[in-house]
Structure 1
Amino acid sequence: MDFNKITESDSHYDHLEKMSVRESLENINAEDKTVPLAVEKAIQQIEVLTEKVSEQLKNGGRLFYLGAGTSGRLGIVDASEIPPTFGLNHGIVIGLIAGGDTAIRKAVEFAEDSHNQGWEDLKAHQIGINDIVIGIAASGTTPYVIGALEKCNALGIPTGCITCNLGSPLHKTAKYPVVVIVGPEFVTGSSRMKAGTAQKLVLNMISTTAMIQLGRVKGNKMVDMQLSNNKLVDRGTRMIMNTLSITEDEAAYLLKKHGSVRVAIELYKNE
């Protein structure tokens, strides 16, 4: 390999088994504090990728996350949270993981080593040039992800990535790469830790900003959220109360009548 695989470098700490619980926790926390600073250094790359994601979604395309292991699970988590949080239809932001849904809970051995399966999984969703695919891999070497992005590039489908190794094959393959260099993990090679945290932060930034760009946030409120439990109904009621300066009973009535914070506010103002 012609790059330094930092995510596999030896930890800055040794003899972990001799540390007290407090020492372990403090040292892990000390490492975790460095992650947002590493993300900050990648803001320009995140901006370029997010702008492309927003563009594709505005044009009716979809956002696919593709990964293996922890990276795949993080993509699925982010994708699954978009409909309830922002009211976007299911199937517009999609998370795919090497090994299929079984791998969400239990590792599927060698699933990530197939150079072709990632593309096959995308094909099952009728992937097209209006869509965009973000490959997620801390190492930047996962064949499942790289093979899929290579095929997308050949067909003119936009590609991005989130990785933690500068100059990795994934970094070089993605057209809109994001590289967050978090350094060695507390437990050598355990990229579910700092690398996973970095990936989660970047995913939050990309999807939240894209949803704002799509008009799914008004002021600072999730006006299109799905009212799927009592907590969210209460939150929606408070949004309507504060926005319209009306009583709780009036807000609750409007929310129940219209089933949407956005619609309740807009129709009230137009009456």
Structure 2
Amino acid sequence: MTEKNNQNSKHLDQMSLLESIQAMNLEDQKVALAVKNEIPTIEKAIELVIHSLKGGGRLIYVGAGTSGRLGILDAAECVPTFGIDSDQVVGLIAGGSNAIINAIEGAEDSVELGKIDLQKINLKANDTVLGIAASGRTPYVIGALDYANQIGAHTISLSCNKGAQLSHSAKVAIEVESGPEFLTGSTRLKAGTAQKMVLNMISTLSMVGIGKVYKNLMVDLKPTNEKLIERSKHIIMQATDCNYDVATQNFYAANENVKVAIVMILTEKTKAEAEELLNQTRGFIRPAITKQ
């Protein structure tokens, strides 16, 4: 389906600029509905990821081209957003780091390379491997999933075609039928958008499932620059209904740990006591503030 000709844009080269923008926007609006159809399967995928992360395992994205770059992007953004270690969510791309910027021809056609790249990072049975391929037939990704299955890891596939070959290599198969591309075969468009939306769901809601979120606030973010320091203080204010001065005081008293500062304020405990409460609840704030 991702390679078929889109009848709504077959006269693209004759459209006015405004007409082409409007037509492209209409195509993009279909993507969210296509993702909606896969919500039950996405739920199963997130459950597998949460199981891995709670058990000390990792979420590992594997893809080629645009799909691989989207996985790397999502993995990279999990570190500052949720305060995780850089090896908890990992992105692998066919052809290695050079392929992030430059196309490495032929790398995605090797089944063996997918296996080798997972061996290099010492894949374990408690990890979850999520293979991403718009076509659903990329050999590199299939090879990675097949190897992950061999060692007992959780496997998820994300493709943009129904009945994808990739789906046969995954315990949970997400197939978002995003349809023919506005520019024929250019899966960086609707298929890429669909993949990004699904990855957003999987990473964000998995982090909710392991206690990285309180209310709808990213309470484990890393305040690594001035913007994030100020965001941290405002998160503390929103979580506790305190003023800026109180948030600032507790932020620094907690050694710039937002989650600890929130528990300190809500329970009127010391830093050490707040840390102990969070240790007892595996980092979840709600049970920590009711446990006292």
**TM-score relative to the length of structure 1:** 0.95
Report whether the alignment pairs 1:75 with 2:107.
no
CA offsets 1:86-135 (integer angstroms, 9 cap, x no match): 11111010000001001111111111011100110110111010111000
Runs of 4 or more, structure 1, over 4 Å off, are none
* Larger RCO: 1 or 2 (CA < 8 Å, sep 6+): 1
Q: Which moved more, 1:254-263 or 1:214-223?
A: 254-263
Question: What is the alpha-carbon distance in structure 2 between the residues aligned to residue 106 and residue 35 of structure 1?
Answer: 27
Q: Which of 107, 115, 121 is the aligned partner of 1:119? A: 115
Question: What is the alpha-carbon distance in structure 1 between the residues aligned to residue 171 and residue 165 of structure 2?
Answer: 12
Identify if the C-alpha distance between structure 1 residues 155 and 246 changes in structure 2 by more than 3 Å, giving closer, same or farther. closer
Aligned amino acid, residue 267 of structure 1? M
Aligned amino acid, residue 81 of structure 2? T
Matches within 5 A, 1:97-176: 97-176=93-172
Report whether the alignment pairs 1:11 with 2:9.
no
Q: Which moved more, 1:21-30 or 1:227-236?
A: 227-236
Deviation at 1:45, TM superposition (A): 0.7
CA offsets 1:26-80 (integer angstroms, 9 cap, x no match): 1110000000100000001101111111111111111100000000000001100
Matches within 5 A, 1:1-271: 6-12=1-7, 13-258=9-254, 259-268=256-265, 269-271=267-269
**8 Å contact 2:111–2:141 — kept in the other structure?**
yes
Question: What is the alpha-carbon distance in structure 2 between the residues aligned to residue 260 and residue 21 of structure 1?
Answer: 50
Deviation at 1:206, TM superposition (A): 0.6
Which residue in the other structure is 1:3 paired with? Answer: none
Question: What is the alpha-carbon distance in structure 2 between the residues aligned to residue 108 and residue 261 of structure 1?
Answer: 42
Aligned amino acid, residue 266 of structure 1? V
Q: CA RMSD in A?
A: 1.1
1:91 partner SS: coil
Aligned amino acid, residue 82 of structure 2? F
Question: What is the alpha-carbon distance in structure 1 between the residues aligned to residue 168 and residue 241 of structure 2?
Answer: 53
In percent, how many aligned pairs have the same letter? 49
**TM-score relative to the length of structure 2:** 0.88
Which residue in the other structure is 2:274 paired with? Answer: none
Deviation at 1:222, TM superposition (A): 0.5
Question: What is the alpha-carbon distance in structure 2 between the residues aligned to residue 59 and residue 79 of structure 1?
Answer: 19
Deviation at 1:158, TM superposition (A): 1.6
Deviation at 1:248, TM superposition (A): 1.3
Deviation at 1:246, TM superposition (A): 3.0
CA offsets 1:166-199 (integer angstroms, 9 cap, x no match): 1121012211110000110001101000000000
Question: What is the alpha-carbon distance in structure 2 between the residues aligned to residue 84 and residue 264 of structure 1?
Answer: 18
Aligned amino acid, residue 43 of structure 2? E
Give the aligned length: 266
Question: What is the alpha-carbon distance in structure 1 between the residues aligned to residue 238 and residue 26 of structure 2?
Answer: 40
1:133 partner SS: strand
5+ residue gaps, structure 1: 1-5
5+ residue gaps, structure 2: 270-292
1:7 partner SS: coil
